[in-house]
Amino acid sequence: MPRRVAVFAMTWKELRDFLERENEKMRPGETARIESLHQATEPATERRARRLAGEYPARTAINQACLHFAEHGHWPSMDPEATLYAHDRWIWAMWFSGWLDEMSPLQEEHSREEWLEWLLVESWHELGSWRWRTSQESS
């Protein structure tokens, strides 16, 4: 039997507000601890190079974690590096949904799950990862 997903209209602002609320739950814990550990032990150029080199091989696992969150509303267990990459995507989703809100109101009706899947996986692969890599290389 196909899974039923409630479909409701969300504005980009409502979606961004949701992402910001969830970010408050996600950020203070593991990601902040891991980032501060790396900042204390690695020069910035080495840290950026390591993160750039590690993102692509981790994509399948990060995609699965993002899809799990979209469907279940909580993150699966992830190793520390995967947690950082998932958080990078989350930051992308917050920024991109804010930008989309400025450009145009949301017209299509999709479930929050579908919007999260699109923001955290599809838009990341199409545009977010390029923007992330560019920012890493230039900082």
Indicate whether 28 pLDDT > 50.
no
pLDDT of residue 27: 54
The tokens of 54 are what? 């590690």
Tell whether pTM > 0.85.
Answer: no
pLDDT of residue 55: 85
Mean per-residue pLDDT for 108-129?
85
What ranges in 1-139 are assigned the alpha helix state H? 12-26, 32-41, 44-55, 59-72, 80-103, 112-117, 123, 129-138
pLDDT of residue 67: 95
Ramachandran quadrant class, 89 (left: phi over 0; alpha: psi -120 to 50; beta: rest) = alpha
pLDDT of residue 39: 61
Identify the bridge partners of residue 110 per DSSP, sorted by sequence position.
8
Cα–Cα distance, 78 to 49 (Å, whole number): 21
The tokens of 134 are what? 């560019």
Question: For the ranges 7-21, 31-45, 55-69, 125-139, which has the lowest average pLDDT?
Answer: 31-45
pLDDT of residue 69: 93
Question: What's phi and psi for 27, nearest 5 deg?
Answer: -65, -50
* Single-letter amino acid, residue 37: L
The tokens of 42 are what? 């690695």
The tokens of 133 are what? 């890599």
Indicate whether 1 pLDDT > 50.
no
Q: What percent of the chain has pLDDT over 70?
A: 79
